[in-house]
A and B are shown apart, each in its own frame.
Chain A
């Protein structure tokens, strides 16, 4: 292992290379472009073995190419976000139903309109119902470590689902961080070659992607839900195995800090966790009984872990990076659903940093203090919004 200061997109590309993908599809979209550019350079230098690198005509084309490739038995990779993710959404739903373990990095970016190239979670949140595993990373070491784990999880025969590794666009993709770069030996010892239970082959012809009339469609969806449930156990095991293998423990489906005696839990996902962690430390030093719950796996939702973590908590602060219009922030919604009947804790959710709006430390601290001091009622609030007047023109 070599420690180097690299940008987030390099830490992704380097890790993908080590996983020995067979087919990579690329379509540019800010701020993911450099990931596929790095892979293209590796490909041009002959560093990717027999891998085929395809510049697709759109994200929709890219996802479709990977459906064909994955069904044929290839290990596949792509990266996208925002408009591209929504464009390929039809195919991703299809891939999930066809149980194809495509791994993709989502460089979380806001959704148009208005057009925004900056970071929030609206894109991957829009795909949360598609039966695709979603894990959110805090920093570039975590994303680097997660790629081999992602393949091991997705390709596990009890799972066989596509997986999104979500990293904040610009905030992580473009950030320079010191990263312990893995080597081929370490990854090879952890991740075996892709061995699908079924594939497209003339040696044993099968019909993939059949249509299911009402008398049997429902059972296919039940089976997918079961796969998601089984994924929880598989993920916990893979995370543990990885921690033993490289000596870096990122936690399970959630990670916790100072939760043993916490009265107020602060919940967050993605790169903002780094900032929340520091604010929690600061508040602890001021004698406040706060704790951090970092949600790593958003799908499958870590219901059991969350119930356990929140056992003795009175108040829960959630920092959202997306909003489900017409209702509230998706993380708080799912959290409340998981805790219903198990906890009386009051939930306060704050939607922050949409479209790359800066999230200053004072904002995070201010919100937590507001909740601790009872200056706000449970509910969902936009924070960090400027004064404005709504006009036509």
Chain B
């Protein structure tokens, strides 16, 4: 069980979440406590008497993973058991950027020694693809559907990296399931820091985004190669590393593979949104020096 996460879980075929989780646990050699709020990962892996987890794990409620993790960390310190393992949170984008943002801010503010990993599949996927703060503009979700008038989500993708940096925590990074070796390296690097760490991992959702189960990695790579999902790394507030793009691709190549963006190619407001997304991508490339 070298990944500390077994087969038999209920994730959709091709789901990116277990790919992220297995590589994180592998990097930590299973020496960790996992805190996991309600969401896809929790539901597929922690049914009563059907647990996929080989590490100590706790699920409390939807919006309190950061606080529960703070409590685990505090208890380990109070009981002199910090050496047992690292405290890690695996939380979805909804639990992180929306309903759980209060507890997250408190945990970061007090700088608890916790590695917080946001598994970003860009919507509330477990309940059937409702929009979250991390849903990109133009996405067709069930609460921001594309209709005769509206072209999917009208709004931005919250910058949770900026949010984390604002709390002056020692390590902030983004990653993608397209590059598991990078995930492993970042996890190992993060736990060298004392204090709160935030890693946001881009996880395509087969069911919610409407892609083929074997396209998960291709789509994840395109998100990075179009510069829509910049892969960056901050240590003590300084940008120390980015993943450069060899050949920057236009955003359409990424969007056309996904059912959630397909309407943009037909909708009267679609062209505007594609241009907006291209602008965001170009700005990312410039801002982080990705080319």
**Which A residues contact B (CB, under 8 angstroms)?**
22-23, 25, 50-52, 54-58, 60-62, 64-74, 90-91, 94, 98, 200-203, 205-213, 216
Q: Roughly how many angstroms separate A66 CA and B68 CA in the complex, as a whole number?
A: 7
Assuming A57-B103, A74-B74, A209-B46, is B60 touching A65 (CB within 8 A)? no
Q: Is the CB of B54 within 8 A of A211?
A: no
**Contact check: which of A68, A74, A201, A205 meets B70 at CB < 8 Å?**
A68
Given contact pairs A57-B109, A68-B68, A201-B84, a sample of 13 additional A-B residue pairs in the complex whose CB atoms are under 8 Å apart: A54-B110, A64-B60, A69-B71, A70-B75, A72-B75, A72-B79, A91-B60, A200-B57, A200-B58, A207-B57, A207-B59, A210-B46, A210-B47
Enumerate chain B residues within 8 angstroms of A208, measured Cβ to Cβ: 56-59
Residue of B nearest to A49 (CB): B78
Q: Roughly how many angstroms separate A25 CA and B68 CA in the complex, as a whole number?
A: 12
Enumerate chain A residues within 8 angstroms of B76, measured Cβ to Cβ: 72
Enumerate chain B residues within 8 angstroms of A212, measured Cβ to Cβ: 47-48
Residue of B nearest to A93 (CB): B61
Query: Which residues B61-82 have CB closer than 8 A to chain A?
Result: 61, 63-64, 67-81
Enumerate chain B residues within 8 angstroms of A73, measured Cβ to Cβ: 75, 79
Q: Within the complex, what minimum Cβ distance (angstroms) separates A127 from chain B?
A: 16
Assuming A61-B102, A202-B84, is B61 touching A90 (CB within 8 A)? yes
Assuming A94-B60, A200-B33, is B72 touching A50 (CB within 8 A)? no
Q: Is the CB of A60 within 8 A of B64?
A: yes
Q: Within the complex, what minimum Cβ distance (angstroms) separates A378 from chain B?
A: 42
Q: Roughly how many angstroms separate A58 CA and B64 CA in the complex, as a whole number?
A: 11
Q: Within the complex, what minimum Cβ distance (angstroms) separates A351 from chain B?
A: 33
Residue of A nearest to B103 (CB): A61
Instruction: Count B interface residues, CB 8 Å.
Output: 46
Residue of A nearest to B55 (CB): A205
Q: Roughly how many angstroms separate A208 CA and B85 CA in the complex, as a whole number?
A: 17
Enumerate chain A residues within 8 angstroms of B46, measured Cβ to Cβ: 207, 209-211
Q: Roughly how many angstroms separate A332 CA and B64 CA in the complex, as a whole number?
A: 36
- Indicate if B163 sits at the interface (CB-CB under 8 A): no
- Indicate if B43 sits at the interface (CB-CB under 8 A): yes
- In the A-B complex, the 9 residue pairs with the smallest Cβ-Cβ separation, listed nearest first, are A68-B71, A57-B106, A64-B67, A209-B59, A64-B64, A74-B75, A68-B68, A72-B75, A65-B71
Q: Within the complex, what minimum Cβ distance (angstroms) separates A215 from chain B?
A: 9
Enumerate chain A residues within 8 angstroms of B106, measured Cβ to Cβ: 56-58, 61
Residue of B nearest to A72 (CB): B75
Q: Roughly how many angstroms separate A68 CA and B77 CA in the complex, as a whole number?
A: 13
Q: Within the complex, what minimum Cβ distance (angstroms) separates B73 from chain A?
A: 8
Enumerate chain B residues within 8 angstroms of A60, measured Cβ to Cβ: 63-64, 67, 102-103
Q: Is the CB of B59 within 8 A of A51?
A: no
Q: Is the CB of B70 within 8 A of A65?
A: yes
Q: Roughly how many angstroms separate A212 CA and B73 CA in the complex, as a whole number?
A: 27
Residue of B nearest to A21 (CB): B78
Enumerate chain B residues within 8 angstroms of A200, measured Cβ to Cβ: 33, 56-58, 72
14 contacts between A and B (CB under 8 A): A22-B79, A54-B71, A64-B71, A71-B58, A91-B64, A98-B60, A201-B81, A202-B32, A203-B84, A205-B56, A208-B59, A211-B43, A213-B47, A213-B48
Q: Within the complex, what minimum Cβ distance (angstroms) separates A116 from chain B?
A: 25
Assuming A23-B71, A56-B67, is B53 touching A207 (CB within 8 A)? yes
Q: Is the CB of B47 within 8 A of A65?
A: no
Q: Within the complex, what minimum Cβ distance (angstroms) separates B228 from chain A?
A: 32
Q: Is the CB of A68 within 8 A of B79?
A: no
Interface readout for B72-106 with A: 1 if CB under 8 Å, 0 if not?
11111111110011000000000000000011011
Assuming A61-B103, A205-B57, is B84 touching A68 (CB within 8 A)? no
Residue of A nearest to B77 (CB): A52
- Indicate if B262 sits at the interface (CB-CB under 8 A): no
Residue of B nearest to A56 (CB): B106
Q: Is the CB of A57 within 8 A of B105?
A: yes
Residue of A nearest to B62 (CB): A90
Enumerate chain A residues within 8 angstroms of B273, measured Cβ to Cβ: none
Enumerate chain A residues within 8 angstroms of B58, measured Cβ to Cβ: 67-68, 71, 200, 208-209
Most buried by A among B48, B59, B63, B109: B48
Residue of A nearest to B65 (CB): A64
**Contact check: which of A50, A62, A69, A201 meets B56 at CB < 8 Å?**
A201
Q: Is the CB of A210 within 8 A of B68?
A: no
Enumerate chain A residues within 8 angstroms of B102, measured Cβ to Cβ: 57-58, 60-61
Enumerate chain A residues within 8 angstroms of B55, measured Cβ to Cβ: 202, 205
Q: Within the complex, what minimum Cβ distance (angstroms) separates A160 from chain B?
A: 16
Residue of A nearest to B83 (CB): A202
